[in-house]
Amino acid sequence: MRTRLSRPLDRAAGAGLAAFLFIVFVDLGTKAYADLTTHDGFVVFNHTRSGDLPQRVGMSLLAVLVMYGIALGAQRLRIGRLWGGWIGVGLLTGGVLSNGVSYLIWNGGVPDFIRPGGDFIWNVADFAIGVGLTGGILAIAATATIAFARERLAARTA
């Protein structure tokens, strides 16, 4: 049985799940494609471990729980659905977990093959982590600001 509080979270959280699945599929697919089809030196394997998979799962679950709490608070304050926040947490957790799983798939480490400039070499998951974290926070802040402005405007006209 659904409660009144859970309904507004369904679609936005579903969008976050879709973003998560999309990033995992695209990241692992592009890593496999780059590893199998490119010449030596194009793919650089990152051996630096930034946490084992159980830690990554724990951090990802924490991020989802925090987003859920923020979404419940936004609903109680009548701010609305936090689509950007849910999509951001989906991108963030998809990137974090995809890089963690990459250690299990590739013995050499996480394949990096995108050169955005300078000495940096990334993969799709790295971009998803950055966009998810930054975009999610900015989306939540923008939604809260718009809701606050709308409430103030309604108070002035009343």
pLDDT top residue among 99 and 48: 99
pLDDT digits (tens, 9 = 90+) for 69-93: 988 888 887 777 788 999 999 999 9
Residue 67 forms part of a structural domain: yes
For residues 41 and 111, is the Cβ–Cβ distance under 8 A?
A: no
pLDDT digits (tens, 9 = 90+) for 129-146: 999 999 999 998 998 888
What's the chain's average pLDDT?
Answer: 87
Q: Based on the structure, what is the number of domains in the chain?
A: 1
Beta-bridged to residue 117, according to DSSP, are 120
Residue 2 forms part of a structural domain: no
Token digits for 25?
């599929």
- pTM score: 0.85
Residue type, 54: P
Residue 117 confidence (pLDDT) above 80 = yes
Residue 152 forms part of a structural domain: yes
Range of the domain at 87: 7-157
pLDDT for the residue numbered 1: 45
Residue 1 forms part of a structural domain: no
Residue 52 forms part of a structural domain: yes
pLDDT top residue among 40 and 86: 86
